[in-house]
Chain A
Amino acid sequence: MPKIVVDVMPKAELLDPQGKAVGGALARLGKSEISEVRIGKRFELTIEGDLTDELQAQVRDIARNILSNSIIEDVVNITVENTDGERA
C-alpha cells in the first residue's frame, strides 16, 4: 500500500519557540556548532488501493489546507513511499 509523507515546518521568518528551547539546551550541553534548531511535523498518510493522480491532488490540498496553516506553517515536502519503505 502506498504511503504519503507530508512534512510541515513553521514558517522560516517565524519564531519557533520549541526549536529555540531545544537549540538553547544543545548550546548548554556544549554543542556550540549547532547554531539553530527548528521543529516541524511529519504526517504519514496510508492509502487504500491505487494512488491516482486525482488522489495525489487531493492529498496536496489536504496538506495545504488541513495539515498545515499557511499563516504560520509551510508544507516543505510531500513524498510517496511504499509501505516497505521504498520510495516510489
Chain B
Amino acid sequence: MSFTIGVVTFPGSLDEQDAQRAIHLAGAEAVELWHGDHDLRNVDAVVLPGGFSYGDYLRAGAIAAFSPIMREIIDAAGRGMPVLGICNGFQMLVEAHLLPGGLIRNNHQQFIRRDQALTVENTSTSWTNDFSVGEEIIIPLKNGDGGYIADAETLKRVEGEGLVAFRYAGLNPNGSLNDIAGLTNERGNVVGLMPHPEHAVEPGFGPDTPQAMRSGVDGLRFFTSALRALAAV
C-alpha cells in the first residue's frame, strides 16, 4: 500500500523540498500543501518543514500556528494523524499547543549549525518506531531559536509521561532544559524536534560518520517509521 505525506510550504519555508525528497526516499508519495489553504488533500501524514515562516516576526513559528492550514492540521492531529515538525515546524507545534512548552533564543545568542548527536528516548511514536531506545544518532542541527523551556510543572509532566523523544548527546547546543531536543504528544502521533532528519537521508549528502564523509542517513528512519505506523493502522 502506498501512503502520501503532505509537506506544508509557508512563506519563508526553506526545507520543504528536502522533506519531500526524504519522503520519496522512504518510499511514500510527497504532496505539496499550501499555508493559505484549508485542504489537506487526503494525505496520510504531514511534515511541517524548517525555515522562517512569515519571517518569524512575532515569535518563531507563532504566525504560522494561526495559519489556515494549521487549523486543519490541529484537527487531524487530534484524530491521530501523524505530524512531524522539524525546527521551525517544532516551533509551530509548541505555538499551536500540540506539544507542551516553548522555544526561545539559543542561550549563546548565536545561530548554530553542526552535526548533532541525539539520544533516542521514546520509540513508541509514529516517527520514531524504527529506532531503539538509548540509540545514538547523528543528524544536522541549524537554528537560532532552539532553547527548549517549560515551567517546572510542565517539565515534570513531560519527563514523567515519557514525552521526551530525543535528547542532545555530548553537547547541549542551545541551553535546552534537560537537554531536550525533541518531544512527542501523549498519543505519540505528533513529534517535533529542532535538528533536521531530512538532511540525513541519502549517502553523499548527510553528516559525516566514522565510516565515510557525509554518509550519515539516520534521518531516513523518521520517515520509514511513519510508513510503518501508517501500515499498522
Contact = CB atoms under 8 A, between A and B. Distances in A.
B109 A15 contact: no
A10 B105 CA distance: 11
B75 interface: no
A16 B31 CA distance: 39
A15 B175 contact: yes
Contacts, number: 39
B108 A17 contact: yes
Contacts of B95: 69
B104 A17 contact: yes
A57 interface: no
A28 B149 CA distance: 29
B107 A17 contact: yes
B215 interface: no
Residues of B in contact with A, size category: 20 to 34
Nearest to A43: B58
Contacts of A10: 104
Interface string B56-72: 00110010001000000
B147 interface: yes
A71 B151 contact: yes
Given A15-B175, A66-B66, A71 B149 contact: yes
Interface string B40-82: 0000000000000000001100100010000000000000000
Contact of B62 (A14, A20, A69): A69
Contacts of A66: 58, 62, 66
A14 B109 contact: no
A76 B196 CA distance: 36
B64 to A, nearest CB: 12
Interface magnitude class on chain A: 10 to 19
Given A14-B149, A15-B147, A15-B175, A69 B102 contact: yes
Interface string A66-83: 110101110000000000
A20 B105 CA distance: 11
A14 B147 CA distance: 11
Interface in B95-131: 95, 101-102, 104-109
A15 to B, nearest CB: 6
A35 to B, nearest CB: 19
Interface in A1-57: 10, 14-15, 17-18, 20-21
A71 B101 contact: yes
Nearest to A72: B102
Contacts of B104: 10, 14-15, 17, 72
Given A10-B104, A14-B104, A15-B175, A69 B109 contact: no
9 contacts: A10-B104, A17-B105, A17-B106, A18-B105, A66-B58, A72-B102, A72-B104, A72-B149, A73-B59
Interface of B: 58-59, 62, 66, 94-95, 101-102, 104-109, 147, 149-151, 154, 175
